[in-house]
Chains A and B, each alone.
Chain A
């Protein structure tokens, strides 16, 4: 692993790709949601664990969106700016380059999770749920981030333009996130149940509901957390394999 490249990518994501402002913007979105829950009359009927669940969903959705956009633009952006050629000419292996970009994206995602912690603590204050909420936010969220960021980088490697890779990444994320909001409908059919069983976002949200509503310990959530681990591992492995295909023109 080449630390210099990783540091360079990290700085680039934070300073040159507006990473800092993206983090501040994400905090603003979370703050607006908090204001709505606290100031609107309808927010009063929500129990504390409901608000916590909505907050964690919003945090995960925001983080994944930012990470997917950054990841999907990582190599395709370099390709469009004609800087990929010089990057490929450096004596650094393609796998190290891909890993450096991936870690740069993860850094922004991790920063987003870190700035969400004060919100989760404030919402769950005096509820005995703060620990569980932080655990699901960090563990579930990070596992999803690892997988989705890897997928976005894969799209960036294989697709020529950043516009197309970002679009496909966002579509994939919406496809996997959307069904979790209509779980009641999907559970009525075998195909729906099968999809929910393998959908990483649904598994993460189910673990969250179990821990925050049914007050189950994290140890009993392995049925949901193991598919998440498997999803992340598969995506990272796929990214490592496809890193060899990183080329100037993108794979056809």
Chain B
């Protein structure tokens, strides 16, 4: 019993000490916004897949000093299915993060990320920039609506696809039985 109490006491002490260290404590006040990010182009798209576009992302330094070691990446949400998607499904270069060595004080930095949308649905693309100190900024969402391309009568195709194997299986069964009856 005594040992348990000591261990509990020790754990409490470690917890209090951890909270006391500034790096591990929850920030009490939000630090001022140092940068912002926006997708300059395209502002939106609606069309048929496959849609290829170069997403131009602008990172603006809002401070009076140079910002270094920023990381930028794209994210996508499939609004029509209510799920996030992997960016690697939107082009071979779309999922890679971009490193920004420095943005001059009050200046801008532009990144171009090629994106290829091959799916049907409503997608919202956003760019995220993470600073060296962990501060993050998310851009405006760019809606991309991809419409159905095929004029195929799906109901008809599904009906044929459902009926054919059933009909053939029944025909095979009947013919085999008839054959067996005729040649026992």
Contact = CB atoms under 8 A, between A and B. Distances in A.
A123 B157 contact: yes
A115 B161 contact: no
A122 B164 CA distance: 12
Interface in A12-64: 14-15, 20-21, 23-24, 27-28, 30-32, 34-35, 37-39, 41-48, 51
A41 B168 contact: no
Most B C-beta atoms less than 10 A away, residue of A23, A24, A46: A24
Contacts of B79: none
B172 A20 contact: yes
B161 A35 contact: yes
A119 interface: yes
Interface stretch (B8-16, B22-30, B67-75, B145-153): B145-153
A125 B161 contact: no
The interface residues of chain A, by DSSP majority, are classed as helix
A102 B87 CA distance: 53
A45 to B, nearest CB: 4
B32 interface: no
Interface string B167-178: 011011001100
Contacts of B169: 24
A126 to B, nearest CB: 7
Contact of B179 (A15, A24, A34, A127): A15
Given A24-B169, A125-B152, A115 B176 contact: no
Nearest to A49: B150
Given A20-B172, A28-B165, A31-B164, A38 B158 contact: yes
B176 A24 contact: no
B118 A45 contact: yes
B156 interface: yes
Interface SS, B side: helix
A118 interface: yes
- Bin chain A's interface residue count: 20 to 34
B111 interface: no
Contacts of A24: 165, 168-169, 171-172
B154 interface: yes
Contact of A48 (B81, B150, B156, B160): B150
A42 B149 CA distance: 11
A42 B146 CA distance: 12
Contact of B149 (A37, A39, A46): A46
A42 B78 CA distance: 13
B104 interface: no
Contacts of B160: 34, 118-119, 121-122
B93 to A, nearest CB: 20
Contacts of A127: 151-152
Interface in B10-69: 49-50
A27 B165 contact: yes
Given A30-B164, A31-B161, A122-B157, A44 B148 contact: yes
Contacts of A47: 149-150
B77 interface: no
B168 A44 contact: no
Interface string B73-115: 0000000010000000000000000000000000000000000
Contacts of A118: 160, 164
Contacts of A45: 49-50, 118-120, 146, 149-150
Residue among B151, B157, B172, B176 with most chain A CB within 10 A: B157
Interface of A: 14-15, 20-21, 23-24, 27-28, 30-32, 34-35, 37-39, 41-48, 51, 115, 118-119, 121-123, 125-127
6 contacts: A38-B157, A43-B150, A44-B149, A45-B49, A45-B119, A122-B161
Given A47-B150, A115-B168, A125-B153, 8 more contacts: A20-B176, A24-B172, A38-B152, A48-B152, A51-B150, A122-B159, A123-B157, A125-B157
**Top 4 closest pairs, chain A to chain B, by CB:** A20-B172, A34-B161, A31-B161, A24-B168
